[in-house]
Structure 1
């Protein structure tokens, strides 16, 4: 499908101006929007992955209070960083390990200076294309058009862009004013988060694109399927976090001592018993977070954090 078939408005300057003015007049306040420090922005992007923003704000502030600079994080003990991550229920503790490793890469491979382009940023451990582009955009104003779930929903509804990743990327690129990735990407993501959510609030949020929007004109607000955030309570993410927290407080624990600290219904021979715990520990060991050691004398296995 070509760009012409997407129904992008011919006067793109008016479309761009309307969105940026709407965003700059009033938008949600997040502390990472008030900084251009790439380290602070990277921390916010990594924390925000599948985590609600209202939980991210206090964790982000506490993290930066403890490790204010990329050099401070590089000097930190990795177990302390992982323990912080677990203690703030940020999920997927390997992100904390990757962030710590990225800090060391900045120091050792980039002379302490943050890389600025999306391609260079992807050299950092755990930084994929989306996160690299976000950091390049918000820290250096040097990114491409961001395409997240909110942006896809906006483009699908407003300009009839088909549910295809290539089409979304091309349409987002065609709309973004050259060299203005910081304000533009913030603005279009804000539009999707505030005015064009799953339940649209076109008039209430004074959507700036109503005059061009196909969905607003037709009343058809269908959109691509949006993955839902799995419940944290009782999830594997929560169990992994409990393992790390327990081992943070105890240098080493036998599996049958560790089990009840992870699940109150732990039963060595039951559904959530030794076999279940061993599989969970195996995942954490693969991520470089936990080490399981078997005694030569007793054959009993113990677990401890990797240092």
Structure 2
């Protein structure tokens, strides 16, 4: 899970960062010219730092793959201070995959919208993944990234994270925070393959749970966009290229589009409103979700139908045209 204080760095479909681990070969001088020869010292320093004190996110206190999967899906481009209460409420409502699989999908999607988690198709995929676990795996999660990747909506990054944190069976995670850390600390070139090779070379064998948590904590607490090396007691200061040179530039990362006024925001409003009633007419829906809605205006029927088309493609709504009347409902 992304542990920065801001929104998660993975775009919808997990296209926002390269996937962790799986890279062949050792990270050598050409990949990380500042990587010390004594890698054990680097590893021990980071793990010791993490184990002495780290942020107590509730999903770090569990090895339940379902609970970890929920946290990972929720954290995609959502600020962690909003994820914590949503995660707790979700598990109160549906504490197991069996409970979630048996739930009405409209209720799950409505929960997602009510908690402003964005991209409502994630709720649909999570619901379907729970059904796969129950129906195809007898209620037991696959334990490796390849098996987890077969679950609906679970891309390579999330599969690796769940394998790491639930089963200690993952590869090195490479997200935006990890890239920033490696780029600054060891002068790794801004290249996805190089990041993966160095991350894989650094991770101790069989220690993906503690290592991936620790390196992401470093990126979230000490090596953020504005570094806090001394304040956070960064354990890599003695080796860090950026700390020695004062050059704290970082790889370019696409900015997360603002949620306010975005299509995501209005799609969420549509789903929330439809969750309160069985069916609603097109224009009534438009006026309810946008004060400046005008049927023939810039934000009118054509704009609204575009939003509904996206939601219909995700299997969330049904749009029915009957004569001059268009009605919209949640798909059950």
Which TM-score tier does this pair reach, normalised by the shorter chain?
Answer: over 0.9
Find the residue that maps to 1:249 and give its secondary structure.
coil
1:152 and 2:206 matched: no
Q: Which runs of 5+ in 1 are unaligned?
A: none
2:204 counterpart residue number: 177
1:267 and 2:294 matched: yes
Aligned residues of 2:27 and 2:198 also touching (Cα < 8 A): no
TM-score (norm: length of structure 1): 0.98
1:299 and 2:324 matched: yes
Alignment counterpart, residue 256 of structure 1, candidates 269, 279, 283: 283
Q: 2:180 & 2:302 partners in 1: Cα distance?
A: 42
Alignment counterpart, residue 230 of structure 1, candidates 227, 250, 257: 257
Q: CA deviation at 1:2?
A: 6.4
Q: 1:166 & 1:109 partners in 2: Cα distance?
A: 34
Q: With CA pairs under 8 Å and 6+ residues apart, which has the higher RCO, 1 or 2?
A: 2
Alignment counterpart, residue 269 of structure 2, candidates 219, 239, 242: 242
Find the residue that maps to 1:293 and give its secondary structure.
strand
Q: CA deviation at 1:233?
A: 1.4
Find the residue that maps to 1:163 and give its secondary structure.
coil
1:56 and 2:101 matched: no
Q: 1:265 & 1:196 partners in 2: Cα distance?
A: 43
Find the residue that maps to 1:80 and give its secondary structure.
helix
2:62 counterpart residue number: 35
Q: 1:86 & 1:205 partners in 2: Cα distance?
A: 35
Q: 2:54 & 2:222 partners in 1: Cα distance?
A: 11
2:46 counterpart residue number: 19
Q: CA deviation at 1:111?
A: 1.2
2:215 counterpart residue number: 188
Aligned residues of 2:27 and 2:197 also touching (Cα < 8 A): no
1:83 counterpart residue number: 110
Which is further off, 2-11 or 244-253? 2-11
TM-score (norm: length of structure 2): 0.91
Q: CA deviation at 1:15?
A: 0.4
TM-superposition CA deviations, 1:37-73 (whole Å, max 9, x none): 0000000000000000000000000000000011100
Find the residue that maps to 1:303 and give its secondary structure.
strand
**C-alpha distance 2-57 of structure 1, shift in aligned 2 (>3 A):** closer
Q: How many residues align?
A: 305
2:22 counterpart residue number: none
2:3 counterpart residue number: none
